[in-house]
Amino acid sequence: MDRYRLSSNLALIAGLAVTAAAVIWFAGAGRPLAQALLFVCPGLAFTGMLLLGSDRILERWQKSVTAWPVRIALVPVFLWGLYVIFAAGMGIDTAEALATMAVYLGIPFLAFAVWPKVEPLVILWIWLPLELGIVRRILITQTPGTDLHYPFAQLLAIDAGIVAFIVWNRTPNVGYRFEFNRTFLRAGLANFFMFAVIAIPLGFAIDFIHYSFALQKLYRSIPVFA
State whether 218 and 174 are in the same domain.
no
Looking at the fold, whether 166 and 74 belong to one and the same domain comes out as yes
Q: Are residues 171 and 196 in the same domain?
A: no
Domain span at residue 86 reads 4-180
pLDDT digits (tens, 9 = 90+) for 116-147: 999 999 999 999 988 887 777 776 655 555 55
Instruction: Answer yes or no: do 124 and 144 share one domain.
Output: yes
- Distances in Å between the Cα of 208 and the Cα atoms of 113, 127, 162, 201, 204 are 39, 19, 29, 10, 6
Residue 143 has a pLDDT of 53
> Where do runs of H (alpha helix) occur along the chain?
8-28, 33-36, 40-52, 57-67, 74-90, 95-114, 119-131, 134-138, 149-162, 182-205, 211-220
pLDDT digits (tens, 9 = 90+) for 196-215: 899 888 877 776 666 555 44
Q: Do residues 129 and 23 share a domain?
A: yes
**Same domain for 204 and 107:** no
Total tally of structural domains belonging to the chain: 2
Query: Per-residue pLDDT tens for 87-107?
Result: 888 888 888 889 999 999 999
DSSP code, position 144: T
Q: What is the pTM of this model?
A: 0.81
Residues 60 and 123 in one domain: yes
**The pLDDT of residue 218:** 52
Q: Mind listing the pLDDT tens digit for each residue in 154-199?
A: 899 999 999 999 999 999 888 898 888 888 888 889 999 999 899 8
